[in-house]
A and B are shown apart, each in its own frame.
Chain A
């Protein structure tokens, strides 16, 4: 995991995150420390509370991963950052601009890759990119260069004049990413960018995201793929029921919430039930993991532990420990 600066990024939990309320520098004039800052943000849809007192602080130049189960409020959060959804309560600033009043300026300088494909199926790749180059005010003289560059990002040069309806799902996804980068934004919102991509293209997208971050672009990425967050994100925030419940560099999240080692015990259902029972009596944190029971913080277990396979704890263990939900 590449570290962007020498700054310490301490592990923070909810109570600590809320201490940011005292920080005065929430609305820097421009390009200051925070690319995104959300304070006490609430969003309700009828009876559903999608975002419930969210505090999110994304420093400039980092790749920030938003991890959470279905319905946690990740997409709603992303849409609030482009002012396509308006918060009921709370303050939001993006790239130093206050939302929703100055959201247009913020949108000019950020790129968005939505979760749901919203490409114009009747147009060709080149046409779509050209339209968006105009929408993002790329000057006329640079427009065709920007389009060619975006086609390169998407690896779609040979299909430049193919109408979108005739592209494969993965190609459409790549075009969607390229569209969000047409104007070389300094902040990119990626809402589950690698869904539906084959492993090779996913790898390519990962290196693209890494490249963005290396060139100083701030990335906010939501994902369901633990591996993606673990590999790419400098900081991961775990979101559940509209709140951030834990946040920190992936390694620190893992050790804080899952310990160092995990003991996986395999066996028949009866044996697993017994192990589960044993774990709860011993006060050990455990979870069902496929055909096994995984006992977290195995390094703290004494001789009474059952036989099993030791492996290092990972972000998935932490995620499940935090949200109580299995992922994927």
Chain B
């Protein structure tokens, strides 16, 4: 082993949510992504294709229009929201748990000049940026199945980013309170599955019983679906401001809750 050179002493003040710290944490995610992007991309294209085949072509032969929209475009835009949900809530739960508990990566990073708020924010930013981009995959697949390209589709990565930010925060919070990784099964089956079905993804919520319909109103994914559908099918209207606002509130709320709940566990 060689002897290190003179110590560098650069005392300087550093504050909250520093870009350098966020970039440092995200550079690790980028390096990991460089290793797994093929698998991630494969599944994010194949999954919507299967949904479109199963629902679009399967149901599509029975149901031609839903709420005045052709069924294939209806499902394609619903699958966008599903893709966003899965590509943010799952990494939020599993990656967080593994990096924190099994690999102790977060412990290593918190010994560096990175604080809990920066660490979690950077992780959430990375996942939601990815979710926004991968949210486009179902639209591309839909276009291959005859969906009409629309300028509004360019808003989908933004919608996906905001929605993904909320759901990854939800996942991080679940990881923070989970005793073991198996606990995620409860959340997946009891929370995420109903959430992605009762959101107007594959069938409209308007035909559902009253209570369920009201529940959908507090389901962020429902608002995501509405927004994606209106943007992608050229039907943006004033109600979409409300949907956007709900998603923004959800994102900010989950961001703070994630930092608070995991922060308590990371620093003892």
A: residues with CB less than 8 A from B are 30-31, 45, 82-86, 104-105, 107-109, 112, 114, 116-123, 127, 130-132, 134-137, 149, 152-155, 174, 179, 181, 183-186, 204-205, 207-208, 211-212, 214-217
Cβ–Cβ < 8 Å partners of B5 in chain A:
149, 184, 215
Q: Which one of B9-17, B53-61, B151-159, B171-179 contacts A?
A: B9-17
Please state if B3 and A85 are interface contacts (CB–CB under 8 Å).
no
> Shortest Cβ distance from B186 into chain A, in angstroms?
26
Please state if B112 and A31 are interface contacts (CB–CB under 8 Å).
no
Please state if A184 and B21 are interface contacts (CB–CB under 8 Å).
no
Cβ–Cβ < 8 Å partners of B14 in chain A:
104-105, 108
Asked whether any CB of chain A lies closer than 8 Å to the CB of B28, the reply is yes
Given A154-B1, A184-B6, also A127-B111 (CB < 8 A): no
Q: Which one of B101-109, B128-136, B197-205 contacts A?
A: B101-109
Asked whether any CB of chain A lies closer than 8 Å to the CB of B211, the reply is no
Q: Which residue of B lies closest to A85 (CB)?
A: B268
Cβ–Cβ < 8 Å partners of A83 in chain B:
267
Q: Which residue of B lies closest to A122 (CB)?
A: B32
Q: Which residue of B lies closest to A201 (CB)?
A: B1
Cβ–Cβ < 8 Å partners of B32 in chain A:
120, 122-123
Please state if A184 and B8 are interface contacts (CB–CB under 8 Å).
yes
Please state if A131 and B27 are interface contacts (CB–CB under 8 Å).
yes
B: residues with CB less than 8 A from A are 1-14, 20-21, 23-25, 27-28, 31-32, 35, 103-105, 107-115, 266-268
Distance between Cα atoms of A123 and B111 in the complex (Å): 19
Please state if A134 and B1 are interface contacts (CB–CB under 8 Å).
no
Cβ–Cβ < 8 Å partners of A185 in chain B:
7
> Shortest Cβ distance from B91 into chain A, in angstroms?
14
**Which one of B1, B2, B11, B24 contacts A205 once the chains associate, using CB atoms below 8 Å?**
B1
Please state if B31 and A137 are interface contacts (CB–CB under 8 Å).
no
Distance between Cα atoms of A264 and B136 in the complex (Å): 78
> Shortest Cβ distance from A42 into chain B, in angstroms?
14
Please state if B7 and A215 are interface contacts (CB–CB under 8 Å).
yes
Please state if B107 and A107 are interface contacts (CB–CB under 8 Å).
no
